[in-house]
Amino acid sequence: MKKKILLILFIISAISCSSQDISSDNKGVKVNSLVPYDDNASYNFTDLVYFKKRWFLIFRESDSHAYGKDGIINLYTRLDNENWTLVKTFQVDGIDLRDPKFSVNGNQLMVYIHGSKYNNEELLSFSDYRSVYLDGTYFGELENVHLDNLKKITSKVTGNEAWPWRITWYKERAYSFGYTFTAGSSVFDMYESTDGLDFKGTNLIENTFPFRGETTIRVDDKGQFYAIIRSRDLILGKIVNEANKKSFQIINKIPVLSLGGPNFIFYKNKMLITGRDSEAMKVVLYSYDLDDNTYKKLFVYPSGGDCGYAGMVIKDGELWVSYYSSHDRYKAKHSDVYIQNIKLSALGL
């Protein structure tokens, strides 16, 4: 197998620039670290976290976005100003591993990974997994994650009834929106768990709810749950509790087409939102002001084609974003992983 070098690129913005000065071209790009890669492989679906003074980066490796070689998951780590080191590769025989994501519960870091089993392009089953960070550079082996599967569906797909797309912990409970659009099944609901392994549906979302897809939940410092949902527009909502009954309340929509891999973090009174604009086929950064319910596009990352699915970290006044994009290997139909950090002041934040 011919090996080359996968460039994990750091794009450094000047301290003095304003948000208008930040362009989406490749000026200022410098190679910060190098890891081995196969020029016949695609690298996608990233996440990034800074935990106990150590960076962790995770992404999928396969030969295509879907319906190809079963994906494996590569996990890298580094200390500040050091090179990335591969510390774990997750692989399950016969299962296409997808969309790895970090999740933090207090002083515990975990990785959640989805698995799909196919016969050619026919989906046969859903499975989900968790690995717990032990210490230093060590992660535990994969544990099975289960949904209660109480939805009344007629799908032939076995295993979990839905795909718990991102797990978020709050006060020792894990939360996730699970979804699926398989034949005979259209599931979209929030699931809860006390141990992060066995999840129960909450029936928070009514069957008539018109928007469903990849969803990220975050909880602000006041305990308010917010979520963004990938749909034709980006749906912003929150979970409210009225008369001792929880419900999902839409607060706004951002007219960005099918934001692939929607992610956000809180900063001051804003939500900073990333994902792939599926019309422009670019990785974009938005801010949403929770005080006046207005939004603004802040930045377009160097990207194109198959791209998106970003990890986000704020550290030392900078926003760090990992993402994947195929703009450098578009003709080969393969994608690479990138990391970019921008000073929040340069974004006008």
Domain architecture of the chain: domains with CATH:
31-346 (2.120.10.10)
> Which of 206-210, 217-221, 308-312 shows the lowest per-residue confidence on average (mean pLDDT)?
206-210
6 pLDDT tier (thresholds 50, 70, 90)? low
Per-residue pLDDT at 330: 83
> Residue 18 pLDDT more than 70?
no
Q: Which amino acid is at 82?
A: E
Q: 11 falls in which pLDDT band (50, 70, 90)? A: very low
* Ramachandran sector of residue 134 (left: φ over 0; alpha: ψ -120 to 50; beta: rest): alpha
- What are 253-273's pLDDT values in tens digits? 999 999 999 999 999 999 999
pLDDT for residue 319 is more than 80: yes
- Looking at 22-26, 143-147, 215-219, 284-288, which range is the least confident one? 22-26
Residue 152's pLDDT is 85
At 24 the pLDDT is 41
**Is the pLDDT at 29 greater than 60, yes or no?**
no
At residue 208, what is the residue type? Answer: T
Report the pLDDT value the prediction gives residue 4, as an integer from 0 to 100.
52
> Of how many residues is the chain composed?
349
Dump pLDDT digits (tens) for 103-113.
999 999 999 99
Q: Which one is predicted more confidently, 20 or 223?
A: 223
Look over the chain and give the mean of its residue pLDDT values, rounded to a whole number: 89
pLDDT the model gives residue 173:
98
Higher pLDDT, 243 or 130: 130
pLDDT recorded at residue 2: 47
Higher per-residue confidence, 317 vs 185: 317
Asked if 193 and 173 touch (Cβ cutoff 8 Å), the reply is yes
Q: What is the pLDDT of residue 30?
A: 25
Distance of CA 280 to the CA centre of its chain: 19
d(CA 267, CA 220): 10
DSSP strand pairing (108-119 vs 96-105): antiparallel
What is the pTM assigned to this prediction? Answer: 0.91
Buried b (16+ CB within 10 A) or exposed e, 18-29: ebeebeeeeeee
Instruction: Indicate the DSSP class of residue 184.
Output: T
Q: What local confidence, expressed as pLDDT, does residue 142 receive?
A: 98
Q: What is the mean pLDDT of residues 289-314?
A: 96
| Burial (CB count <10 Å: 0-12, 13-18, 19+), residue 55 | buried
CA distance to 4, 9, 260, per residue, from 35 (Å): 9, 11, 26
Q: Is 93 exposed, middle or buried (0-12, 13-18, 19+ CB in 10 A)?
A: exposed
pLDDT digits (tens, 9 = 90+) for 121-179: 999 999 999 999 998 899 999 999 999 999 988 888 999 999 999 999 999 999 999 99
Instruction: Count CA within 13 A, CB hemisphere, residue 43.
Output: 25
What pLDDT is stored for residue 12 in this prediction?
Answer: 39
Mean pLDDT of 17-29: 37
- Pair 300, 310: CB distance under 8 Å: no
Burial classification of residue 268, based on how many CB atoms lie within 10 Å of its CB (0-12 exposed, 13-18 middle, 19 or more buried): exposed
In 3-state terms, what secondary structure has residue 346? helix
Res. 283 pLDDT band, cuts 50 70 90: very high
Band of the pLDDT at 1, cuts 50, 70, 90? very low
The answer to whether residues 319 and 312 touch, using CB atoms and an 8 Å cutoff, is yes
| Residue 347, helix vs strand vs coil | helix
pLDDT value of position 31:
27
